[in-house]
Amino acid sequence: MVIPSYAKVNLFLQVLDKRPDNFHNINTLFERINLRDKIIIKKRPDKLIKISCNHPGVPLDASNLCFKAAKLLQGQFRIKGGLDIRIIKRIPVAAGLGGGSGNAAGVLIALNKLWKLRLTKAKLAKFASKIGSDVAFFIYEAPFASGRERGEKIRVLNKLNKLKLWHILVVPKIQVSTPLIYGKFDRFSGLTKPASNVKMLTSTLVGKHPLSKPGLLFNSLEQVTLKLYPEVRRVKDTLRAFGLRNIIVSGSGPAVFAVVPSGEKAAVLAEKIKSKRKPWQVYAVSTA
């Protein structure tokens, strides 16, 4: 089986309170984008689950989210056979784009068919939530959805199904630790509070001129990431210099994206930023 595995950005991410399990409750608005990996799954006659990948930064052991997804279903349903799982990465690793989470969701969706498990999306999402906070979003294969609690309580926003946003996406070649960002977030004082919320943002996106005004996008973690990683701030400053207004970090970063009016504008900007020869990955992307 060959499965496409998409990236995501967070149009809104408000961190609320810390939970007893040391995670945080959040309110977020996910958008699936057309930057994607490819996953190839083949059956094995033994019970082994083997992971391979073209990217050296992806773990190939039991810590890999694809491995965890396959192992979870294999054990739960007493599947006798094993798997070879090949991940072809195009989504930058550890960038706040949910690449690993999307890969795990792709494996769950594929194995539901391959092993004829007949699980509903709601049941698959419950398995997904055991693997990682963002995995459940990708199970629903929706362009937009809100996420609550750890981000795993998903509500698909069907009213936005026809909406297509364009972005310029820039990823500096630095590693950002999500646990570190959340840990620092708990210690920062005087952090900016959002001027909007998921409901307000959704209502705006339904309108004829979505995101025509700045200030609706928000990310609680951005303020921490910008203080700890000056390179991320440089990316934001570069995008701002091109006249863009709706610019935000996705997740804990380091990926930064801006809303642009069209695919043509995104492509032109991507070439201009690439011409600066910065050590950044630059993409023109849209809602998927």
Catalytic positions, written as ranges:
8, 134
Q: Which tokens go with 188?
A: 């920062």
Which residues is 40 bridged to in the sheet? 2, 86
Q: Is the peptide bond before 254 cis (omega within 30 degrees of 0)?
A: yes
Q: Which tokens go with 178?
A: 């999500």
Question: Mapping DSSP to helix (H, G, I), strand (E, B) and coil, where does residue 88 land?
Answer: strand
- Contact residues for 154 (Cβ-Cβ < 8 A; gap 6+): 125, 136, 137, 139, 140, 145, 146, 147
Alpha-carbon distance of 149 to 146, in angstroms, equals 11
- Contact residues for 141 (Cβ-Cβ < 8 A; gap 6+): 32, 109
Q: Give the largest CA-CA distance in the chain.
A: 57
DSSP 118: -
On the 0-12 / 13-18 / 19+ scale of CB atoms within 10 A, 196 is middle
Count of residues in the chain: 288
Other Cβ atoms within 10 Å of 246 Cβ, number: 20
